[in-house]
């Protein structure tokens, strides 16, 4: 069994997919699944699934397959959803609201506790049960609650300065929805840039083929 840090990026990228399909299977009350069956659902190969899962140890049983709940738990724990990362969102425009209500932060180990905005019309609104605070309260809030993840849903121009401020306040990881790549030159700061538009371009590409 390899150490986690030896796992290739290609494998890691597939883990959330497995996780999601296993969640569906749990909802369907299925108990077990074979690599063959899962591969058919996911449109991949059984070989790849077995190879991937084996990076983390043998969870399956010959002649039986994989126990869905157990495998779901293991992958979840590899991905870190059993943690409790304090999470904040910056920006409560359309995008911030959509992300807040669409994503199950709780299920992913993220406790979304505050949303900040600069627009007086938006401050005070409630999104998915969370009140939108003024950006002026950001510093105080961070000092008291020490969030480690920040979701950035604000205009391009402000993103960089807000991110820098948040790093000073102890934020370690950024989920960036501004449509440019946030490139912070700090060690140990983790950024995931979301490229929403890219997949539409993939669609137009495939559509014309």
Residues at the interface with a second copy (CB under 8 A): 4-5, 12-13, 15-17, 19-20, 24, 42-43, 78-81, 83, 85, 93-95, 97-105, 108-110, 148-149, 172-173, 175, 179-181, 183, 190, 192, 194-209
Least distance from a second copy to the Cβ atom of residue 112, Å: 11
Given the rule CB under 7 A, which of 28-36, 127-135, 152-160, 166-174 is the region that contacts DNA? 28-36
Nearest to 91 by CA among 5, 182, 156, 7: 156
Considering CB distances under 5 to 8 angstroms, the limit depending on partner class, which of a second copy, DNA, none binds residue 205? a second copy
Output 9 or 196, the one with its CB closest to DNA: 9
Considering CB distances under 5 to 8 angstroms, the limit depending on partner class, which of DNA, a second copy, none binds residue 149? a second copy
Output 63 or 197, the one with its CB closest to DNA: 63
Nearest to 117 by CA among 132, 128, 131: 132
35-54 residues in contact with DNA (CB under 7 A) are 35-36, 44-48, 50-51, 53-54
Least distance from a second copy to the Cβ atom of residue 209, Å: 7
- DSSP assignment of the chain: ---GGGS-HHHHHHHHHHHHHHHHHHHTT--EE-HHHHHHHHTS-HHHHHHHHHTT---EETTTEEEHHHHHHHHHHHHTTTS-EEEEEE--SHHHHHHHHHS-TGGGTEEEEEEEES-TTTTT-EETTEEEEEGGGHHHHHHHH---EEEE-S-HHHHHHHHHHHHHTT--EEEE-SSS------TT-EEEE--HHHHHHHHHHHHH-
Query: What's the token pair of residue 20?
Result: 């999601």
Output 19 or 66, the one with its CB closest to a second copy: 19
- The answer to whether 76 contacts DNA (rule: CB under 7 A) is no
Output 40 or 64, the one with its CB closest to a second copy: 40
Which parts of this chain interact with DNA (CB under 7 A)?
8-11, 34-36, 44-48, 50-51, 53-54, 58-66
């Amino acid at each position: 069994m390899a150490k986690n840090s030896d796992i290739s990026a290609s494998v890691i990228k597939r883990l959330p997919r497995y996780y999601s399909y296993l969640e569906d299977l749990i909802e369907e009350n299925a108990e077990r699944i074979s690599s063959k069956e899962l591969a058919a659902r996911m449109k991949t190969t059984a070989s790849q699934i077995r190879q991937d899962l084996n990076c983390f140890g043998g969870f399956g049983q010959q002649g039986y397959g994989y126990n869905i709940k157990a495998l779901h738990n293991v992958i979840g724990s590899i991905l870190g959803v059993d943690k409790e990362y304090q999470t904040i969102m910056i920006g409560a425009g359309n995008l911030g609201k959509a992300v807040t209500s669409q994503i199950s932060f709780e299920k992913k180990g993220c406790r979304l506790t505050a949303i900040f905005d600069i627009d007086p019309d938006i401050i005070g609104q409630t999104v998915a049960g969370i009140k939108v605070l003024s950006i002026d309260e950001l510093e105080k809030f961070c000092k008291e609650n020490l969030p480690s993840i920040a979701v950035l849903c604000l205009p391009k121009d402000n993103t960089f300065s807000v991110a820098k401020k948040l790093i000073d306040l102890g934020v370690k990881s950024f989920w960036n929805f501004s449509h440019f790549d946030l490139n912070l030159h700090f060690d140990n700061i983790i950024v995931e840039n979301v490229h929403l538009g890219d997949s539409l371009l993939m669609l137009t590409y495939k559509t014309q083929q």
